[in-house]
Amino acid sequence: MENVDNARLTYLIILVVAIAGSYLVSNRKNLGKTLQQAMIWGLIFLGVIAGVGLWDDIRQSAQPSYASVIADNQIKLRRAADGHYYVNTKVNGTTLRFMVDTGASDIVLTQSDARAAGLDPDTLNYLGTASTANGEVRTAPIRLDSLSIGPIVDTGLRAVVNQGVMDQSLLGMSYLQRFSSVEFSGGYLVLTR
């Protein structure tokens, strides 16, 4: 098999050299312009090859799709470029982006996400504490009227609002335990009710 591949490669190289050679000979009076055009076509060819090779990454960056509903009781989340799983949810009717975090015990909202969901973080009682990678932070217990991902809707969920600085709201284990199956496979996280 390797000999066949080497023979094909040799044939392809000879063919390219023959075509390029005949083109250069026929346009030898304008050799500078011909080489310039050959370089442009070579760069276009390399750009197309790079685009095809990076298409999945480009598509993910341009239009990130975090979740797809497979069935009424199953959600499939694609792993993001940073290695985490994100999902757009509706909390109290407002679309919020969460990171799935198996290391978090609770559903944790940032102060800005809490505000977007109709809560006033300034009036909450920050009675609880949570240990994070940045140290201990104060938390305020709340109840969410509703949290939905596609057709899966939960009401009256307990959650907390983080008093400290936090980049992303988290879907922790208290939410993930509502699913009968949580499976990591082939760059996806599949949640099944």
If DSSP codes are grouped into helix, strand and coil, which group holds residue 83?
Answer: coil
One pLDDT digit (tens) per residue for the chain, 193 residues = 667 677 787 877 887 887 877 777 777 777 777 778 777 887 887 778 777 777 666 555 554 556 566 777 888 898 888 889 999 999 999 999 999 999 899 999 999 999 999 999 999 999 988 887 778 889 999 999 999 998 899 999 999 999 988 889 999 999 999 999 999 988 899 999 8
Structural domains in the chain, sorted by start: 2-53 (no CATH), 65-192 (2.40.70.10)
User: What is the pLDDT at residue 9?
Assistant: 78
C-alpha 17/C-alpha 163 separation (Å) is: 68
Residue 80 carries which DSSP code?
A: P
Over 10-63, what HEC string results? HHHHHHHHHHHHHHHHHCHHHHHHHHHHHHHHHHHHHHHHHHHHCHHHHHHHHC
User: What is the pLDDT at residue 56?
Assistant: 61
Would the pTM count as exceeding 0.75?
no
As given in the structure block, the two tokens for residue 109 are 């909202």
